[in-house]
Chain A
Amino acid sequence: MIKIQDLTKTYTGKTVLNIPKLKIEKGSCFGLVGNNGAGKTTLFSLLLDLVEPTSGEILNQEINVSNDESWKAKTSAFIDSIFIIGYLTPEEYFEFIAELRGVENVTLKDWLEQFSSFFKDEVLNQKKYIRDLSKGNQKKVGIIASFIGLPELVILDEPFSNLDPSSQILLKKLIQDFSSDNKTTFLISSHDLSHITEVCNRIVLLEKGEIIKDIETNEATLKELETYFTL
């Protein structure tokens, strides 16, 4: 699915990301952990061609993301508030994304039904602009919007933060179900070690822009990560 080769990103002489080689298999759920400044968001931004690499290349299904835009048809993402159009209502936002992804309006309405327990009664039919929703509900809108059109690759930056505990638990299940139903590849970053070890089958630990650990998830993984992050 994803192939990274000799990727580096440097800001005014300081290297913030340096990944000589990384491969992510199709259908896997890939977790990214690391303290602030480890380069998680930078890596995601590079994958989405939001930031230019200083050197190296990223192939998304054999397409070099810097040169060709055709990967956009099969990839979607949610990276916090910069992905939200505040002046739309959640319904209008979903319709807009659906239009861009070629999903019919009627299909969209039916499809959204399955997320009613995730949304509770706080998102749909509220007659509110997204900018007036709480942070957690804004996040829910963004995450579900990234599922529209059954993309093959979904990138989620910190999906669990700002969500209340029951929504976090629901989201874990949503991601797992969506991934197994549609063979979708997920790339997720999080500060919540227990959530991410539960959802992902592979976890990569970044520190100062470099890969420190690359683990197939098992029972010992959570302990291993906790030990690493304990100072």
Chain B
Amino acid sequence: MTGIFLELKWKQFSRAPQFGAKLAVKVLIGFFIIYFSLAAIFFSGISFFLLEKQFPDQTPLSIVNDHFLYYFVFGFIVRYFFQTLPSTEIQQLLITPMPKNKIILNTIIRSTFSFFNSSPIFYFLPFAIVFILKGEGNVFGVLSWWLSLQMITWTSNNLIFLVNKNSSALKAIIVTAICLYGLQKFNFYNFFTLFGSALDNIYSNPLWLIPVIFALATTYLLLFKFLIKECYLDKSLSKGKEKILGEKLTFLNRFGTLGALIKNDIRLIIRNVRPRQVVLMSFLFLFYGIIFFTPDIYKEMGTLLIFASIFITGGFMMTFGQYIPSWDSEYYSLLMVQNLSYRKYLESKLILMIIATLIACVLATPYLYYGLKIYSMIIAGAFFNMGLGGYITLISGVLNKSPLKLNVKAKAFENTQAFSITQFLFVLPKMGLPVLIYWLGQLLFTERIGILLLGLSGVLGIILNGFLISQIEGVYKKHKHKTLEAYNTNN
């Protein structure tokens, strides 16, 4: 049975348009996954020794155990945003002679082998092996410890599906988490060490595995029962009635066509799963600076600081912006026959990106903590993003030509439907150009002038906006029919 599923998946992939390009991207991503897996394996092996050296009075195992709960919670949040049950596939199979039990069982089994559940293999298994090879721990204990981590991961895999379709379960989990955090905070009860010592116990006495097995079995059973019950088109498989968000926005009415287009984009973002996910991600870019601005070693590496500054205000542009005009792919034909010029359309997108950049500037004010120089770099970067970055983004977007399904969650590592080599190439000017401008400025003059030049390059872009938009308009017009063809055949 799984064979048929795999065959369907393969056909879906191999018969898609632009198969060659997609294959190349998949291969590339495959390499990335292998690279990261190897890195994880290497890192986990090394970390055993590091922990041993840093904390000689504790065993590495118990340190990992004490922090496992953090990892678990973080993983749970990531899963909540990215992991989905393939319910459309269930839908298609409902009326085939395949029994329901089998369909559900298959879905659950396949989810067990998801990428999200691989961390025990890539991270904790090498750790365990190093432990065993060093001959310090007892083999049976280490293995049952590892097994418990794998089972806890699977348990969270099952929980996420229960939670995803059931908002009261989510509320229960959030409330429990807050209560536990509170208890921890006010030193009533240290839940983290409790959890850690429970894992320690499993190592010293494998009999403690039984509750873990029990928990895993329970969630499997619950999930199975839940899915069987919900396996009707009008239950979990349907979307249910949606609440209308962003109805008002009337203040945009006075801006005419531009206002109407921006209003649509705001609604697009708040009412569709995929854009919402992407825009939430873009907020993470705001924290990029902390990584680069905090360590002293980077303090004198101006180019690196500029690089980080570009990211801080460019989050929206790089996440949401790179998929313009793919966001409109579902109804691009409508826009193309409307009484709407490309110019207006492009202007509205630019304004949206500029507004987002300005908001990021305001949100980035806490970076003043790192000093005026850093903040002026952020502002100069923002000017570049607004003045030039936006145009580069728009061009890379139209060359992309992959349609997007708006109301479908993206899966991690499968987020390749709207991803192409051309976008890779456009990262160069988007990221490299600002760094180059700064680098030349500080090389020929001073660091201050480098920052100033970067800001001025953005101002220049703003002054030349009429000319630049015309150029991009030309590119969009040239690609109109190809874009339409790609959007309409794939959707």
Q: Which A residues form the contact surface with B (CB < 8 A)?
A: 48-52, 69, 72-73, 75-77, 79, 82-89, 92, 95-97, 99-102, 105, 127-129, 131-132, 149
Contacts and interface: CB of A to CB of B under 8 A. Distances in A.
A30 B272 CA distance: 39
Nearest to A48: B337
25 contacts: A48-B336, A50-B333, A50-B336, A50-B481, A51-B481, A51-B484, A72-B337, A75-B337, A82-B332, A82-B488, A83-B333, A84-B331, A86-B330, A87-B267, A87-B272, A87-B406, A88-B264, A88-B267, A96-B264, A97-B338, A99-B257, A100-B339, A105-B253, A128-B241, A132-B241
B260 interface: yes
Contact of B340 (A79, A95, A100): A100
B244 A89 contact: yes
Interface string B357-368: 000000000000
B271 interface: yes
Most chain A CB within 10 A, of B239, B257, B339, is at: B339
A14 to B, nearest CB: 16
Among all A-B residue pairs, the 8 with the closest Cβ atoms: A99-B260, A87-B271, A83-B334, A82-B333, A52-B481, A48-B337, A73-B339, A72-B339
A214 B272 CA distance: 46
B422 interface: no
Contact of B239 (A87, A100, A132): A132
Contacts of A51: 481, 484-485
Given A72-B337, A86-B330, A92-B247, 9 more contacts: A82-B332, A83-B331, A84-B331, A87-B407, A99-B260, A100-B260, A100-B338, A100-B339, A131-B407
Contacts of B338: 72, 76, 97, 100-101
A86 B488 CA distance: 15
B150 to A, nearest CB: 40
Interface string B42-58: 00000000000000000
B244 A127 contact: yes
Nearest to B268: A87
A82 B264 contact: no
A102 to B, nearest CB: 8
A99 B259 CA distance: 9
B242 interface: yes
A138 B267 CA distance: 19
Contacts of A77: 337
Contact of B260 (A84, A89, A96): A96
Contacts of A82: 330-334, 488, 491
Contacts of B485: 51
A77 B339 CA distance: 11
Interface in B272-288: 272
Contacts of B341: 69
Contacts of B488: 82
Contacts of A101: 338-339
Contacts of A132: 239, 241-242
A76 B264 contact: no
B211 interface: no
Contacts of B135: none
B336 A49 contact: yes
A72 B342 CA distance: 12
Given A51-B481, A97-B338, A86 B407 contact: yes
Contacts of A131: 407
A50 B487 CA distance: 11
Contacts of A89: 244, 247
A69 B341 CA distance: 8
A96 B330 CA distance: 16
B406 A86 contact: yes
B331 A85 contact: yes
Nearest to B337: A48
Contacts of B339: 72-73, 100-102, 149
A158 to B, nearest CB: 15
Given A82-B334, A84-B331, A129 B244 contact: yes
Contacts of A100: 257, 260, 338-340
A128 B39 CA distance: 48
B99 interface: no
Nearest to A79: B333
A92 B270 CA distance: 15
A75 B304 CA distance: 53
A72 B488 CA distance: 20
Interface in B201-250: 239, 241-242, 244, 247
B340 A129 contact: no
Contacts of B334: 82-85
A91 B7 CA distance: 44
B256 interface: yes
A31 B82 CA distance: 48
A69 B345 CA distance: 14
Nearest to B488: A82
A122 to B, nearest CB: 14
Contacts of B256: 99
A87 B268 CA distance: 7
Nearest to A126: B244
Contacts of B268: 87
Nearest to A99: B260
A82 to B, nearest CB: 5
B337 A50 contact: yes
A50 B407 contact: no
Contacts of A75: 337
Contacts of A69: 341
